[in-house]
Structure 1
């Protein structure tokens, strides 16, 4: 009992980082927190003497106007299908998410399922801090074989630590949270100008400048390239002759080669050349001079209104084309890659997953729900999109039309990035077949893809907590101007590196290397 309490109390110090606002797109803000369990009395009556087990799902975001009605229908269908659980959806506003989830777990509050964003804090670290319950016994029972079959071994590896299955993946799209070096562009403008798809970095610059000039002539507004500078420039890196390598996304300070070598990403030649490349973009007028201070919302608005020449590393997500076309009739999004003959390099299949907290006394309820959700198109449609004819209209086999309220917002549509299953997704009506095909690729089934040796590795920064905190405070402000090309690499790098070294970079790298080699040893057994 004392050990469990210590583990629970430990979460109070760090659970706030478990799942953080801003992880993936689609986050609403500003609604009041409440739990949706509408129809519970009717459901209990339908279940007879055996009251349904609550399945309390805690996830970030805001409520929808028809959320209660939809969840009531979900619970009715669960009972009709013989799944004796009652979904109680608890959406917590983003500004209260960290504090609230920390308090819930540290105080021992019971709930059955927690959304986790692994690009903020991975499940292995949460498990080590006493926050999550392992699911091995449940999966070993055979009851959830259908759920387990929905994902490949590589995908399950991402939510497994030291042999413990700690969550169920939420693999909603081929592109979310991943880029694989995609370059997006205004296809309608490129077609109008008769531009050929670039095959080299120099051609990319000329291509972007041509689209920029045409759009500036049409709009009278300065046009820029957007996206991609916060992380390594994968669109450029895939064009190099060097072997594939992984750059850790937590602080973008660690480089992992396919032979298992761990080194400093910021001290590599590839980082240097990437910075210098963006200097060229800056000198050519393709990078907004205030891009670091404008914020994500400004860039997103420019993109959705067609005021962009090119988007790096999914700077223009293909699923945004419908909204773009509403604002700019006739606008189209094109996507290409340099070195298209090279196979995809997979470093992460999904950043999102759903876990069972240690406070749950009925962990099977979460798996009962997820197996039901992913087993059937009708089930998936009901929870994800609501009541047909009231919150959405199905269009064909894989499209939908949202029904909007008087305020112009959806009456209900669950955040797909949190829990949708890619093969059962519906896309917005009007999205082109070309882009749906891009967003529907099963990269987890691509036998030709190169899978990073770091896939599934989860670094625990606890042993170097001070260094990690210092680097977290310094890295972004020091490196972002270099990565965006707004500060010359030759003039700014040595000073930045000196500060990172003083903050504990070498200590951080050494601990990362130690843990990674242990991970590799475990993989080979």
Structure 2
């Protein structure tokens, strides 16, 4: 069965295959108690179940030291699990993960980014294990600290295929960060429209004193939820609407359309084209890697960040006098409704080839069993990597040899939970904390937030349009190619790849979904 699944996944993901594998980290020998087999003389032996957890990003300098402590704590708590994390660079993430899934490589847990590749996409490839029984048996703390409506949004046909990460208020989608210190430096007011934003940005670019230009820090994509170009959508008369699963415009009346064929897509592309032609995006935007984007933010040489990002330490590299209040949150048309496009933003899933789904769930559950466990995974070793600052604060212990960052930091987006999260009270951005981590009682959910598309009936077409959109649509959406000149040929290729059939199938399933609500 697994061989057949691997062959199927290989065919579906052939276009995404990327040669090469990161090596395994050296396994630790911490004892654990997953089972208690007996020796010949009747004594119980202790056996460790080791799981491999695959995540995007760069391994922190002190990862090995921290996870030795994590595994020692897991052993002391009798969880019966030892964890090894495998980090895959951002620019290779999609290709490498798809290769691991398609070839049936054995691992036990991997990170899911709903705004990049939703868990339903992995489910539809047959790549996810049903972990409903494991959550029921071993997920006590997961169920206690993740709201039921978010958990329900992570189900397909009533079964659990992913554990959602409750780390962010999804209604934060639609805002962006701006540098107020840079506005003051250039005698500028905070922009209230896309046109005002571009005008201010041109002034900043012309007057910039840094060594690198403050380009829009982003990688290339055609999905506005992934790019956070959804900030523009609040300025359109048709808002509120969202773009679901990369291809589908969905408004609150339940209307489904091909996103690329909407006037809203054209308006987005026109904005990005103006950024590109005026030199506000990197001329190499189509090949920018996530690590390059992160490096720009860390350098402090940026003016606008779609979504949220940046840090005080980074800002002060450009402006030593910057404070945490110099990053502001901007909403276009703030009087309009605040929309949650997704039920949740990130999560963690167990691949179908895992031999230890129960161990993966036990580990995730253990992280939320106590503040002590959470702190260790997220912030490292107290006194070495951080110090506590009250009930919800922490102060990272910075290393001049590590770009003045701590030598270890976990990931809120991968494993965070608002019930346990700590904040760097000295350098975190107050307005970002409020938007991201405090519930918005005025927000509404997209009508499609919990809808899961099953492309089984159009699997070939769905695979084809994913590939074609990356090649033909992304350059238009990023403004590198002129919409009027390039779009007719691009949409013709999309339709030949099967776009119309996929949209029709999506509409059919969505109408059935609405009828069941």
Counterpart in 1 of 2:511? 517
Contact 1:105 1:359 in 2 (8 A): no
Could you list the per-position Cα deviations for residues 271-310 of structure 1 after superposition, in whole angstroms to 9, with x for gaps in the alignment?
A: 2222233344455553444433555555544444343343
Counterpart in 2 of 1:330? 321
Change (3 A) 1:65 1:343: same
Matches within 5 A, 1:425-440: 425-428=421-424, 430-432=426-428, 434-435=430-431, 437-438=433-434, 440=436
Contact 1:166 1:356 in 2 (8 A): yes
**SS where residue 235 of structure 2 aligns?**
coil
Contact 1:275 1:489 in 2 (8 A): yes
Question: Are 1:257 and 2:228 matched, yes or no?
Answer: no
Question: Are 1:211 and 2:207 matched, yes or no?
Answer: no
Matches within 5 A, 1:154-303: 154-174=149-169, 180-215=173-208, 218-219=209-210, 223-227=214-218, 230=221, 231-232=223-224, 233-249=229-245, 252-282=246-276, 284-303=278-297
Question: Are 1:74 and 2:70 matched, yes or no?
Answer: yes
Which segment drifts farther, 360-369 or 345-354?
A: 360-369
Counterpart in 2 of 1:442? 438
C-alpha deviation, 1:414, in angstroms: 2.9
**SS where residue 335 of structure 1 aligns?**
strand
**Pick from 358, 373, 380: which aligns with 1:379?**
373
Q: TM-score, normalised by structure 1?
A: 0.80
C-alpha deviation, 1:263, in angstroms: 0.9
Distance of 2:235 and 2:190 partners within structure 1: 14
Distance of 2:489 and 2:367 partners within structure 1: 52
Contact 1:305 1:328 in 2 (8 A): no
Question: Are 1:388 and 2:379 matched, yes or no?
Answer: no
C-alpha deviation, 1:380, in angstroms: 0.5
Which segment drifts farther, 239-248 or 420-429?
A: 420-429
C-alpha deviation, 1:174, in angstroms: 4.5
Could you list the per-position Cα deviations for residues 470-517 of structure 1 after superposition, in whole angstroms to 9, with x for gaps in the alignment?
A: 323332333334323343333332232222222222122122222323
Question: Are 1:39 and 2:34 matched, yes or no?
Answer: no
Distance of 2:280 and 2:94 partners within structure 1: 37
Change (3 A) 1:199 1:151: same
C-alpha deviation, 1:163, in angstroms: 0.8
Contact 2:240 2:337 in 1 (8 A): no
**Pick from 474, 477, 498: which aligns with 2:471?**
477
Change (3 A) 1:521 1:286: same
Counterpart in 2 of 1:88? 83
Contact 1:18 1:121 in 2 (8 A): no
Change (3 A) 1:18 1:56: farther
Change (3 A) 1:494 1:107: closer
Please, which runs of 5 or more residues in structure 1 have no aligned partner? 22-28
Counterpart in 2 of 1:364? 358
Distance of 1:104 and 1:253 partners within structure 2: 24
Change (3 A) 1:518 1:211: same
Q: TM-score, normalised by structure 2?
A: 0.81
Tell me the matched-pair count. Answer: 498
Counterpart in 2 of 1:24? none
Change (3 A) 1:66 1:286: closer
C-alpha deviation, 1:439, in angstroms: 5.8
Distance of 2:101 and 2:485 partners within structure 1: 48
Change (3 A) 1:495 1:309: same
C-alpha deviation, 1:62, in angstroms: 5.5
**SS where residue 146 of structure 2 aligns?**
coil
Distance of 2:29 and 2:400 partners within structure 1: 20
Distance of 1:31 and 1:403 partners within structure 2: 28
Contact 1:125 1:458 in 2 (8 A): no
Counterpart in 1 of 2:109? 113
What is the RMSD of the two structures over their aligned residues, measured on CA atoms?
A: 3.9
